[in-house]
Amino acid sequence: MKHHLISAADLTRDDAVMVLDTAQELARLADRPIKKLPTLRGRTVVNLFFEDSTRTRISFEAAAKRLSADVINFSAKGSSVSKGESLKDTALTLEAMGADAVVIRHHDSGAPHRLATSGWIGGSVVNAGDGTHEHPTQALLDAFTLRHRLAGSGDGVGRDLTGRHITIVGDILHSRVARSNVLLLTTLGAEVTVVAPPTLIPIGAEGWPCTVSYDLDAVLPKTDAVMMLRVQRERMTAAYFPTEREYARRYGLNGDRMATMPEHAVVLHPGPMNRGMEITAEVADSPRCTAVEQVTNGVSVRMAVLYLLLGGAPAGPAPTPASGTATTAAAAGTATTATTAPGAAGEAEENQ
């Protein structure tokens, strides 16, 4: 595994299976009297959250604490960031405090990439969601949930998702979860279809390793799992569909639609859910919906990621060009957090 986890594309198939297998073993910790391992004792994990998030931050915090790491929570609100501090200066502060890993959530696509590749900090950077770019640990926990649920007998250890059909439905345009999932699930051998109204499919989606469809009903009968995404009203600056009612009727998952799926198929939702919009209460409360399970699995998967990044020997010179960009970094150091950082890996989004 690389020194950082910025994009789901950073993971090879073997890396991803290793994360899932490690998570599978760590999940068993929940049944023990002492739900803690001494592995990361004395290491410091900083949760650097520029955007509100409860479940992801709590999940990372629980994961780090279960591995005995010290956790520092840093949220932009009420911190020096609200006084105008740049990402660079925040990073240098964290470096000075000796952060071994920085878990970053940022409203701008590419901020974690900037943090990891500018040579500001020596620790590992874990992307906990950046703008409309990526959210790799969410994709990992979705893959973990899928593998576990679809494995039948046994828990799927050592296996990937070869041959599985997975459908991602909803606001693909604004969804970092969708991007990471398309990349990761494809790496794991699954065939992915994204379904949304044409207005919510990003430009360039035809270059993604997945199929694009506008018709949910046509896809459901041959899907092993459907992932319902929330319509991200807070990121919407234009009218992407006429009415919410129309969206719900064409792209929402209700009991009748769920009945057209194969018997074994499951429904995933990364949360938070908008009941009545993309998913009805009937589906959300059915045993086929894995939303709550996904939260539990999130802790195990994030433990696995932190262990694999921090538990072993320091990776030495990181594969990313950390040095040499120091001068450009200094030049760009004036970039405040309000400025959009350069998009990672040509995935710059039109995040209006």
CB of 138 to other proteins, least distance (A): 21
138 is in an annotated binding site: yes
Please state the closest distance from residue 119 (CB atom) to other proteins, in A: 23
Report in angstroms how near the CB of residue 28 gets to other proteins at its nearest. Answer: 7
Residue whose C-alpha is closest to residue 222's, from 259, 260, 186 = 260
Tell which residue, 224, 240, 223, has the closest CA to residue 232: 240
**271: number of Cβ within 10 Å:** 16
Indicate the length of the chain as a whole number. Answer: 352
Smaller CB distance to other proteins: residue 35 or 249?
Answer: 35
Catalytic residue, from 43, 105, 106, 113: name it. Answer: 105
Q: How far from 275 is each of 53, 216, 232, 249, CA to CA, in Å?
A: 19, 18, 13, 13
Phi first, then psi, for residue 324 (nearest 5°) are 85, -25
Told to judge if 105 belongs to the known catalytic residues of this protein, a careful annotator would answer: yes
Q: How far, CA to CA in Å, does 30 sit from each of 150, 178, 268?
A: 22, 29, 22
Is 32 tagged catalytic? Answer: no
Smaller CB distance to other proteins: residue 152 or 312?
312
Do the beta carbons of residue 320 and residue 4 sit within 8 Å? Answer: yes
Q: Which is nearer to other proteins, 212 or 308 (CB)?
A: 308
83 among known catalytic residues: yes
Catalytic entry in 44, 56, 90, 167: 56
* Residue with smaller CB distance to other proteins, 9 or 310: 310
Distance CA 340, CA 352 (A): 10
C-alpha to C-alpha distance for 290 and 31, rounded to whole angstroms: 20
Tokens of 134: 């990526």
Angle at 287 between CA 284 and CA 291, to 5 degrees: 50
Shortest Å, Cβ 101 to other proteins: 13
Known catalytic residue: 113?
Answer: no
Residue ranges binding other proteins (CB under 8 A): 1, 18, 21-22, 25-26, 28, 32-34, 36-39, 307-315
Q: Is 271 annotated as a binding residue?
A: yes
Classified as helix, coil or strand, 145 is: helix
Q: Least distance to other proteins from the beta carbon of 64, Å?
A: 14
Residue 55 annotated among the catalytic residues of the structure: yes
Identify the active-site residue in 57, 135, 179, 269: 135
Residue 55 in marked binding region: yes
- Report the residue number, 32 or 83, with the smaller CB distance to other proteins: 32
2 is in an annotated binding site: no
User: How many other C-beta atoms lie within 10 A of the C-beta of residue 70?
Assistant: 16
* Binding-site positions for carbamoyl phosphate: 55-56, 105, 135, 138, 271-272
Could you list the residues known to form a binding site, using ranges. 55-56, 83, 105, 135, 138, 176, 230, 271-272
Residues with a known catalytic role: 55-56, 83, 105, 135
